[in-house]
Amino acid sequence: MKHIIPTLTLTALAAAASAQQAAAPAGLNYNQVGVSRTSDSNTASAQFNPAGSNLVIGFATTHGDVTGTDYNYGQLNLGYVFKGVAQGIDATVGLSQTNGDNTLYTLTLRRALNEVYQGLEISAGYASSLTSSDDVDGFVFGGTGINSTKTARFVDLGYNVNKTFQVGVGLTQGDKNDNTLTVFSVRAGF
């Protein structure tokens, strides 16, 4: 009889730990690697949040084929996250350098939607080139390569399958083409 309470306590703690392990994370993870696919491009990306600071450092590379023309973009990203600016929304303001010759500024808003469905989150963003020329080769944004445009916007709905993996589907569009690209993504947090 005197061993029942410790046994029940250990059993309850083990059950709670195992349930917590399977649950999706409550907050937003800025340490992740991912791959994305559209109908004409593949993108690989990684970003990390050093030592829990508000900085986000990342890179992305994309390879695609538009109307028979291959393109490759490599990009370095640096951002600052303003956490909880309104209603649980994180805002990230960033600068990106593409292929060493195109600089852009970005704004991304991100929010967990756990009140709708546990593990769901939404992201939306805008990017604009700082180049004065109208002829911008392209850049990586919203999980894909954006060609011959100075600005782009995206929206992405992600679902955290568990603490590590997230799947997402998004829409990305540039200003010069009316094509809206559907982007499918798989991300792994670390």
How many other C-beta atoms lie within 10 A of the C-beta of residue 166? 22
pLDDT tens by residue, 84-122 = 999 999 999 999 999 878 899 999 999 999 999 999 999
Counting as low any pLDDT under 50, the low residues of the chain are 1, 5-25
| Kind and range of the H or E run holding 121 | strand 120-129
Burial class (CB in 10 A: 0-12, 13-18, 19+), 158: buried
* Residue 71, pLDDT score: 87
* Residue 189, pLDDT score: 96
Phi-psi region of 99 (alpha: psi -120 to 50; beta: other; left: phi over 0): left
pTM, two decimal places: 0.82
* Residue 4, pLDDT score: 53
User: What string of DSSP letters covers 29-85?
Assistant: ---EEEEEE-SSEEEEEEEE-GGG-SEEEEEEEEEEEETTEEEEEEEEEEEEEEEEE
Look up residue 33 and give its amino acid.
V
